[in-house]
Structure 1
Amino acid sequence: FQGALSYQLSSALLFDAVHAVVAAVQELNRSQNVGATQLSCKSSKIWEHGTSLMNYLRMVELEGLTGHIEFNSKGQRSNYALRIMQNSRDGLRQIGQWHSEQGLSMERKLPSINVTDTLFNTTLTITTILENPYVMLRPNHQEMEGNERYEGFCMDMLKELADILKFKYCINLVGDGVYGVSGTNGTWTGMVGELISRKADLAVAGLTITAEREKVIDFSKPFMTLGISIMYRVHLGRRPGYFSFLDPFSPGVWLFMLLAYLAVSCVLFLVARLTPYEWYNPHPCMKGRCNLLINQYSLGNSFWFPVGGFMQQGSTIAPRALSTRCVSGVWWAFTLIIISSYTANLAAFLTVQRMEVPIESVDDLADQTAIEYGTMHGGSTMTFFQNSRYQTYQRMWNFMHSKQPSVFVKSTEEGIARVVNSNYAYLLESTMNEYYRQRNCNLTQIGGLLDTKGYGIGMPVGSVYRDEFDLAILKLQEDNRLEILKRKWWDGGKCPKEEDHRAKGLGMENIGGIFVVLVCGLLVAIFMAVLEFMWFLRQTPGTELSVCEEMLRELQGIVLCRDSLQLRRRRGTTMLRPRSLPLEERRARAAAVSLSNGKLCGAAAGLPLSEPLSHRLAQEAALVARGCSHIRICPECRRFQGLRAMRPGGGPSHGASPTHMPTKPRILSDGKEN
């Protein structure tokens, strides 16, 4: 119908033009004898009556098929009016008039969207382009015809609009397969060109609203907001290994921590030996009778104390002197910062596979030449860089325009394939970037958006349907229909979201190394226990069994939960079976020889082990009656290895024999004798 109407209008204009020329020639013939002259385009000679004819044409006034015909001094038609018609179910009817001198005058207001019949039962020609997920061919499109061959976001939106505005449509793919750019002679290609030439009534696709396009066509309200983004392939760093829990610190930091531990241990041992306040009497209740001083910081304890502080577990060894407390405080402050820093960085190194991307923003992309980058040829993104006045974007356009071979691609699929298979970054709309990243896990977005713009429905200039489509799009947005359609076509990709990566639990590939450390530590402990067992047997003369038999006997007792421990006396004593002695005697002997320092603490001062237990208990009770409150402190001596004899005047004597022990065995807190 519209094509027929356009044909009738062209015929009427042609009739009026011929009529105007005939009228001008008739007036010219009255004053001059008009004759035909043979002319050549290569000759500078002109028709002698040409200027006069142009003057008579400007003076022509008549009523033609297209209304009043009159021209101004410049030869342009003037003083004419255009009727504004509305297509309704009753046919065309005039709703207004536009006069070249008086302007627009409407006879009635345009009806609202709910009662409109402008588009009622009208068939519109839709031009579009194949672009996922906006317009796509169905898998079985060969078996279908017409509009049913296509699917996608724009197709569903077009159905929603057709249901609201009650119109029909016919979809045609654009001939040259581009969105539309301006040529050197002012012509336009693609969908924009078809709208300008009136070959299509609407352009429904991912058509970006730009100022240059707005000059030649009209756009509806934007149905989607987006921006230009950078697509690049994912560069994953090395996957976390079994010992990735060591990654929060560099190897140099671990080495210096080990050196710091050794230095603190040595300084602690030296300071504890130098200060007199770390040498003390373990039996304050027996002053005058116990002439020994003890230092808890042996070489082994000096190396164990920093370990307990570093592992945040503490130790039963407490510093007494100001100097040793200073060393301990500094070490604890050091471990506080180290452990806090390690804990803060551990989660990131174990749960996140860090990406090693050579570019992180558009500035990084513009400042290098190793990575090629480009965009779709003939699209709005290319126009954005071509017309931009921003220095960075100008430099990027110069690079893209001069690069050979060309960095421009014909379609988004070609650009993505180039990103995956080569060192190439593709510049495209963020919505397309999001869609393809959901379906290809090897793609990622670099940086943020370069600009902000929107997609709109294209129409010819002055389209009477513009307001109605604007209202219909706003209605779809208010009803969240466009958001529902976007989720329908964008979601459902196979690639997990970034939140899923952060919430993923740790696997054995992340923290398996700490289990290896645990197993190795247990094996080393077992090996050291075997060595200690063998060393003790070698230092004990008069053993009746071999080392293997003795170890097998001990293991058998452990498995059977039997007391298979044989009481051993170091340095020249013989081994005694526990069942060959009375219970009190076994306890006394065990208390006399089972100290960790290997010294005799109870029976070495002349008190016979055969003294009845009741007699010794009575002596301890007498000490308690005298008000001795330190009677239960004696278990400390189990931890002390450094012993120093007291001089008669109360000072320590380095040359005293370690056999000057308290003359009275003591009752320990666990009920054993010391």
Structure 2
Amino acid sequence: MIPAGQWEEESQALGGLSSALLFDAVYAVVSAVQELNRSQEIGVKPLSCGSAQIWQHGTSLMNYLRMVELEGLTGHIEFNSKGQRSNYALKILQHTHSGFRQIGHWHVSEGLSMDNRIFSSNISDSLFNTTLIVTTILENPYLMLKWNHQELEGNDRYEGFCVDMLKELAEILRFNYKIHLVGDGVYGVPEANGTWTGMVGELIARKADLAVAGLTITAEREKVIDFSKPFMTLGISILYRVHMGRKPGYFSFLDPFSPGVWLFMLLAYLAVSCVLFLVARLTPYEWYSPHPCSQGRCNLLINQYSLGNSLWFPVGGFMQQGSTIAPQALSTRCVSGVWWAFTLIIISSYTANLAAFLTVQRMDVPIESVDDLADQTTIEYGTIHGGSSMTFFQNSRYQTYQRMWNYMYSKQPSVFVKSTEEGIARVLNSNYAFLLESTMNEYYRQRNCNLTQVGGLLDTKGYGIGMPVGSVFRDEFDLAILQLQENNRLEILKRKWWEGGKCPKEEDHRAKGLGMENIGGIFVVLICGLIVAIFMAMLEFLWSLRHSEQSEVGPDNVLKVYLCLLLRVECSARGMIRTRPAIPEERRARSTTTLSNGKLCSGGEPDPLAQRLAQEAALVARGCTHIRVCPECRRFQGLRARPAPGSPAQSEESLEWEKTTNSSEPE
């Protein structure tokens, strides 16, 4: 057993061993033939392979071969009765910087025997104060340049997970190291001529002692270099960008219903308002005499379902607030009940859908697994050129992965990228899925909320420290890595460099508060409604001011009167009330009587009570101090005179006016 230090030396050593074995084999045959020739004369004649004849001395030669005992290039040569070599020994050699040295031997009968002096020494003593060349590659977060790397030198220019792990290993094994970036910037793949590129090629050429990076342990790499025990376990995953249906807008509260449903709801509202208006006009049970008019003296009937009220009543029911308008007839109650049932279902459905639309951001991902990715051609997908992921698909015998490799290999332009950063940029800027290790997937998803992982892991593998074949430091690094894993130092380092991103964890599914971007539109509706209400109030005021000549209040005093009503204070109405010109007797007889509430009573002859009220209003106008408003019809009810301090007693007409008006007012 002769371990070689490098590939060329190993090939040379194996070739020398084969030559030595071949020489010993020929030497054994010659010795047997010589012994056979001494005992009898050997005759040689040509034989055919298809003939049944055999060489007559063959059995004798085999017997003499079993009896051969000699010392050859490979040691003692001896065979047993079955023709197998026996009673031989092997030397166990170790390759060092000074050459090979024997560390033990193995005998067919005695077994293995190792030099105890090697194992009695401390395992870390062989690396004490030794400087190792470490080849690596720039890859976040394994190895990165510091922001001020131009001002630094040597190992101080770098930071990352691998740098911290090297520091931990150097403290345990007590060695020094020098970080060297790989020349071609790749991990390592075999070329057509049998050579290797990247970090693997530098280890084979003995340009570096260690390769510390996200170097995946594969069977193909294990043939040409040695790996330590894995310091991180991972697998290939799919990285894709997050697809949102659309960003929430100010009017997202309208999303629970489609535009067609909103249109049909508006048409239903208009239809119910029109039907309610017509039904209320047809039924006699919705017509009644107004409260201010005394029974028997006014034959005017009014209907509470005017066009405005018919439009307002369905709005109150739809908003779940109701109104002071109550249906009296069975027909209007039937219309109201049907409308209330309709609004109950509509409001309940809207509330349920609103919670789903505003609190849950639904992702629209067209692929959910690797099978979905392989079965389509719309989304391009690829991996790093020259990496272990590319080798995995290239050597895979699984049908799905073979189909994916055929697609990636034949796709033009190429779907392979040179680095992880290039793959991430391609995912964000185009319809592209990136196949990379799960550790890198997790790292970039923590720092970019527009990225997501699709499906699970495609395989399971590990990262290891690469070393040249037959490295004397392999066992020492294995023990050091196991010690770091037992102390949870590797897990602590991973959390240090992986966590801290701005994106929340995907496992956190708690409800999040709604922002202004979700329900800001309802504030816009509220503000617009307030502005429209103020504008309508101003129009109503201007309209009443324009028609103030027909009222009892002068146009120059309308604003003052409204302010008095608004502030609910007593104000002097002197000079604010204007009497109407006297109406001729014959014109008064033909006209209808205008009541104080603004309603009209029909009839040929004027009502004596109305005449008395008009006369009293004209008499008391000079000393009016208070204006009353009817609580039923919200109009000027009348004017009451109050004697000023020190004035003579009220007249008999004034007392009768007070009595009449007070008796007709509700409590």
Query: Which bin holds the TM-score, normalised by the shorter protein?
Result: 0.5 to 0.7
- In angstroms, what is the RMSD of aligned CA positions? 5.8
Structure 1 residues 640-665: Cα deviation after superposition (integer angstroms, max 9, x where no partner): xxxxxxxxxxxxxxxxxxxxxxxx73
Counterparts of 2:194 and 2:6 in 1: how far apart (Å)?
27
Contact 1:578 1:586 in 2 (8 A): no
Aligned counterpart in structure 2 of residue 301 of structure 1, from 288, 306, 309: 309
Aligned residue identity for 1:83: I
Q: Does 1:457 align with 2:464?
A: yes
For residue 378 of structure 1, report the CA deviation from its aligned partner. Answer: 1.8
Contact 1:282 1:293 in 2 (8 A): yes
For residue 487 of structure 1, report the CA deviation from its aligned partner. Answer: 3.2
Counterparts of 1:316 and 1:274 in 2: how far apart (Å)?
21
Contact 2:250 2:518 in 1 (8 A): yes
Counterparts of 1:578 and 1:353 in 2: how far apart (Å)?
72
**1:596 — aligned with what?**
633
Contact 2:144 2:159 in 1 (8 A): yes
**2:163 — aligned with what?**
155
Relative distance call for 1:22 and 1:542 in structure 2 (3 A) is: closer
Aligned counterpart in structure 2 of residue 62 of structure 1, from 60, 71, 83: 71
**Gaps spanning 5+ residues in structure 1: where?**
33-54, 602-607, 618-663, 669-674
Contact 2:448 2:503 in 1 (8 A): yes
Aligned counterpart in structure 2 of residue 415 of structure 1, from 395, 405, 423: 423
The secondary structure found in structure 2 opposite 1:383 is helix
**1:448 — aligned with what?**
455
Aligned residue identity for 2:382: G
Contact 1:376 1:408 in 2 (8 A): yes
**2:664 — aligned with what?**
665
Aligned counterpart in structure 2 of residue 570 of structure 1, from 598, 608, 612: 598
Q: Which has the larger radius of gyration?
A: 2
Contact 2:5 2:470 in 1 (8 A): no
For residue 398 of structure 1, report the CA deviation from its aligned partner. Answer: 1.9
Aligned residue identity for 1:457: G
Contact 1:351 1:506 in 2 (8 A): no
Aligned residue identity for 1:447: V
Counterparts of 1:208 and 1:616 in 2: how far apart (Å)?
102
For residue 188 of structure 1, report the CA deviation from its aligned partner. Answer: 5.3
Counterparts of 2:336 and 2:461 in 1: how far apart (Å)?
66
For residue 212 of structure 1, report the CA deviation from its aligned partner. Answer: 5.1
Counterparts of 2:167 and 2:371 in 1: how far apart (Å)?
42
The secondary structure found in structure 2 opposite 1:208 is coil
Contact 2:249 2:518 in 1 (8 A): yes
Relative distance call for 1:97 and 1:335 in structure 2 (3 A) is: farther
Q: Which moved more, 1:336-345 or 1:98-107?
A: 98-107
For residue 171 of structure 1, report the CA deviation from its aligned partner. Answer: 4.3
For residue 224 of structure 1, report the CA deviation from its aligned partner. Answer: 2.8
Relative distance call for 1:414 and 1:135 in structure 2 (3 A) is: same
Relative distance call for 1:85 and 1:299 in structure 2 (3 A) is: same
Q: Does 1:481 align with 2:507?
A: no
Aligned residue identity for 1:665: S
Counterparts of 2:207 and 2:388 in 1: how far apart (Å)?
21
**2:383 — aligned with what?**
375
For residue 266 of structure 1, report the CA deviation from its aligned partner. Answer: 3.2
Q: Does 1:179 align with 2:204?
A: no
Q: Which moved more, 1:568-577 or 1:128-137?
A: 568-577
Contact 1:459 1:466 in 2 (8 A): no
**Gaps spanning 5+ residues in structure 2: where?**
35-63, 578-595, 601-609, 639-652
Relative distance call for 1:106 and 1:520 in structure 2 (3 A) is: same
Aligned length: 578
Counterparts of 1:382 and 1:76 in 2: how far apart (Å)?
46
Contact 1:79 1:100 in 2 (8 A): yes
For residue 155 of structure 1, report the CA deviation from its aligned partner. Answer: 1.8
For residue 376 of structure 1, report the CA deviation from its aligned partner. Answer: 0.7
Contact 2:4 2:13 in 1 (8 A): no
Aligned residue identity for 1:455: G
Q: Which moved more, 1:75-84 or 1:484-493?
A: 75-84
Contact 1:269 1:297 in 2 (8 A): yes
The secondary structure found in structure 1 opposite 2:527 is helix
The secondary structure found in structure 2 opposite 1:406 is coil
Counterparts of 2:84 and 2:136 in 1: how far apart (Å)?
40
Contact 1:360 1:446 in 2 (8 A): no
Aligned residue identity for 1:155: V
- The correspondence of residues 644-655 of structure 1 with structure 2, limited to 5 A, is none
Aligned counterpart in structure 1 of residue 214 of structure 2, from 195, 206, 214: 206
Q: Which moved more, 1:380-389 or 1:101-110?
A: 101-110
For residue 401 of structure 1, report the CA deviation from its aligned partner. Answer: 0.8
Identity of aligned residues (%): 65
Relative distance call for 1:421 and 1:525 in structure 2 (3 A) is: closer
Contact 1:351 1:502 in 2 (8 A): yes
- The correspondence of residues 112-261 of structure 1 with structure 2, limited to 5 A, is 116-117=123-124, 120-121=127-128, 123=130, 126-138=134-146, 147-174=155-182, 176-181=184-189, 189-192=197-200, 202-210=210-218, 213=221, 219-232=227-240, 239-261=247-269
Counterparts of 1:366 and 1:600 in 2: how far apart (Å)?
84
The secondary structure found in structure 2 opposite 1:206 is coil
Aligned residue identity for 1:596: C
**1:266 — aligned with what?**
274
Aligned counterpart in structure 2 of residue 517 of structure 1, from 515, 525, 531: 525
Counterparts of 1:151 and 1:319 in 2: how far apart (Å)?
80
The secondary structure found in structure 2 opposite 1:305 is helix
Give the TM-score taking structure 1 as reference length. 0.65
The secondary structure found in structure 2 opposite 1:62 is strand
